[in-house]
Amino acid sequence: MALTPGSFSVLPASLSAKSAPALTAADDEHFAAVAAYLDHARTDLAGRLAAARRAPGGTGQHALDRDQEVHRLTARLRALSRFDADLCLGRMVTTDGTTIYIGRFGLTDDDDEQLLVDWRSPAAEPFFAATHAHPMGLVSRRRYRWGRPAGARAVVVDFWDEVFDPALLVDETERAALDDQSAFIASLGASRSERMRDVLATLQSDQDAIIRSEARSPLVVSGGPGTGKTVVALHRTAHLLHADPRLAASAARRTGGVLVLGPSEPYLAYVADVLPSLGEEDVLTATLRDLVPEGAGAVEETDALVASLKGSVEMATTVVDAAVALYEEPPTEPLWVSTELADVRVGPTDWAAAFDAVESGTPHNEAREQVWDALLDLLVDQAADALDEGFDDDDDGERAGQAASELRRALRRHSELRRAVERAWPLLRAADVVGDLWTVPAYLRRCAPHLTREEVLVLRRPDAAAWTTADLPILDAAHRRLGDPDGERRRRRRERVAEAERRQRNEVVADLLAGVHETGGDEYGVGLLSSLRHADAQSVLVDESGLDGLDSSGAGGGGVGVERLAGPFGHVVVDEAQELSDAAWQCVLARCPSRSLTVVGDRAQARDGFAESWEERLARVGLGAVRVATLSTNYRTPVEVMAEAEPVIRAALPDVDVPTSVRSTGVPVHHGRASELEPLLRAWLAEHAEGTACVVTGDPSAVSGLVAERVRVLTPALAKGLEFDVVVLLDPLTDGLGVNDTAAAVDRYVAMTRATQRLAVLTP
């Protein structure tokens, strides 16, 4: 395999000390080998993928295996196509002189030579975790900073070496190249884009320790702005998928895996490239809005009292259960049902027994079939004596059983009985049940006796479907408690389609069998075709797995997306978790029965305040044995910005943890008037060909006329989790919003700490 010619190290003149061939030649040779093998691997994968796609689809397990192989090859080809030699993050040299190159993925050539060690493997841990106090068997470590000139291959534009034993340096060339922090600090100050920048090569030892921690109990990653909480959570997700093959396999099958819950759509767009760049494309990402069909049209809840009342655990559990239970009370009036085979009486005890037969935990709408089955069993037993009359036990037992089956079918088709069952156990929709709580005070008082009369009136609204974000956890609980009201209709449709396919196949087999007899076929052919008439053969012939997509829709019409987000998941990541109400936590826990969670948040950024510890908050919502890992170094926000942001948050929350910034830009915070907004932004855009800016305001519509490339206008809530080179804060943020002092301080603190280079605070 020919090596790619030319150097992969293209360092600027300011780094001439690092450009000596003695420092870069070995790397260039290794990068060439990596690039050449990647070309070979991509060609091979493309061929195998094409062959897999041309292969017959088959049915049943064969079809599933083929689809999974196509998915696996596609994902691997897509991952390898994202990178060239920049797949390599760095290298480490051990005390025995071995040089090990670390990559985003593991890479082994056709001769079984390890070109790259996967960053998630135990063998790569020293690369991230070694310190001068604990070198973990390393002599030195080198990290690369890659660039990709337009139309050209990836090249190294900087690197920095760390030596854990300076006595082992060979000559002054190596000593001159030592510059432990230059590339790292430069990367922190690099221009931001619309997507989260790649930080894998610069993960720090405290971050790596959290990433590699086990997932048997809930882990809280706590830290202030710029500490890398989100980075850690996403990289931990990739590490868990690598360390637990079962988790990765379930994600690929779309039957579990990992769910990442973020605070907003801008956040999800911002982090969209992180996991794919680490080779993980099967992780689902969503916001709380995405969990229910009604979420798309919900507006923010601005009434703090309403949000507080709806945010309780009781509202998402006992109140919803009580509301549904009112539709599960058995009738107290008897009903006579007449059929040609027998007359039966459905009394109160029959109704009660049928209702009691529902298995615990069965969603209400799915339980109606259980009610039907139990009721029919009772009624057929009631008519047993009448059905047995005239039958001889010795000769006509089978006929009596057939009569019982016929009676069961007749009762099931009986229009009056059907209407009675439908009235007694109606199919319900979550939006109707929850909407009634807010529009019918008597209904709410009955279901929520813990509320005062005044609180019931506060929750009342004229439009049942005027959904707010505070309604979403309650709607989610109702969807789970009720199940799909259209599920039975779809099940019957699948059965009809499957039965029609069986009849068609039977006709084909009958025709083939007749042809074999007419032509005098051998016994083997006759026997084989005859066997296809048996039920067990029919179950193989009819591929019912393909029928699941018939008329599929999410609960309440939300579509497949809502169904997939219903879980359960093997692991769930929750970012900006300090904002979740107790009711919202029930949405999370319902999707993660294993309680394997990565919880990401900052108590100082909670708009409604966060006086408890993380352990206390999570214990209250049902999570125990919580571990907390704290990040305290701010890699994003300059010292100049934090010097003004810290007093803002401490004025409202004196005891919160504020991280320590590690870098300075030398640019002070600019204070001015709102009239400077447009000139300030235009001047910055003219001076900088790269980078992004954001105007943070409580009312984006007030600056809707400001349209410029690389400039966004967001509220503090939508800016959470994002970062920009320049932030312009239009202060006061809270004009007209009616929020409390804590929320105002948090909004201002969040807005200020989005800046990586410059901050301007403009007032009217």
pLDDT of 554 reads 41
* Other Cβ atoms closer than 10 A to 433: 23
Burial of 278 (0-12, 13-18, 19+ CB in 10 A): buried
| CA–CA dist 589, 595 (Å, integer) | 7
Q: Is 559 annotated as a binding residue?
A: no
Q: Is 224 annotated as a binding residue?
A: yes
Pairing outcome for strands 88-94 and 138-147: antiparallel
Retrieve residue 586's tokens: 């029930």
| CA–CA dist 706, 450 (Å, integer) | 49
Name the residue ranges covered by the structural domains of the chain.
13-201, 328-390+397-424, 639-762
Q: What is the pLDDT of residues 66-119, one digit of tens each?
A: 777 787 788 888 888 888 899 999 999 999 989 999 999 899 988 889 999 999
Looking at domain 639-762, does it have CATH number 3.40.50.300? Answer: yes
Pairing outcome for strands 114-118 and 99-103: parallel
Q: Is 227 annotated as a binding residue?
A: yes
137: left (phi over 0), alpha (psi -120 to 50) or beta: left
Q: Is 287 annotated as a binding residue?
A: no
Q: Is 57 annotated as a binding residue?
A: no
- The low-confidence residues of the chain, meaning pLDDT below 50, are 1-5, 524, 535-560, 734-739
| Alpha-carbon 572 to chain mean position | 7
Q: What angle do CA 572, 574, 575 make, to 5 degrees?
A: 145
Widest CA span in the chain: 111
Retrieve residue 641's tokens: 């910005």
Q: What is the pLDDT of residues 431-484, one digit of tens each?
A: 999 999 999 999 999 999 999 999 999 999 999 999 999 999 999 999 999 999
pLDDT of 77 reads 85
pLDDT of 300 reads 92
| CA–CA dist 462, 448 (Å, integer) | 19
pLDDT of 197 reads 67
pTM: 0.81
Q: Is 361 annotated as a binding residue?
A: no
pLDDT of 392 reads 58
Q: Is 228 annotated as a binding residue?
A: yes
Nearest to 474 by CA among 260, 312, 609, 246: 312
Retrieve residue 191's tokens: 């221009």
pLDDT of 597 reads 95
